[in-house]
Amino acid sequence: MASETKVNHREKAYSLLKADADKILRLIKVQMDNLTMPQCPLYEEVLDTQMFGLSREIDFAVRLGLVDAHHGKELLDSLEKELTIMHDAYVKK
């Protein structure tokens, strides 16, 4: 039972981190579509703040043993790749 609970907590922790990563992606998309251009300091500030916050969340989950460090890094890398694709598409408009 304890092992099952541990797995459930790990899955939930990763799911919450993934949801936060998705929120960042949506936030930046809305910002790019409606508010500011990627070269704007406000855009960069929001992106940097959000990415830093997510990295701290992941670090905390890793330290608690809820998320494997490799999976946490993959999550951040995946988000960065998606944001780069979005940025490049915006710049090419």
Question: pTM for the complete prediction?
Answer: 0.84
The mean per-residue pLDDT over the stretch 51-63 comes to 97
DSSP for 63-75 reads HTTSS-HHHHHHH
Average pLDDT, the chain: 88
Which pLDDT band, with edges at 50, 70 and 90, does 52 fall under? Answer: very high
> Strand, helix or coil at 67?
coil
The pLDDT tens digits for 20-40 are 999 999 988 888 777 666 667
**Is CATH 1.10.287.750 the classification given to domain 2-92?**
yes
The pLDDT tens digits for 74-87 are 999 999 999 999 88
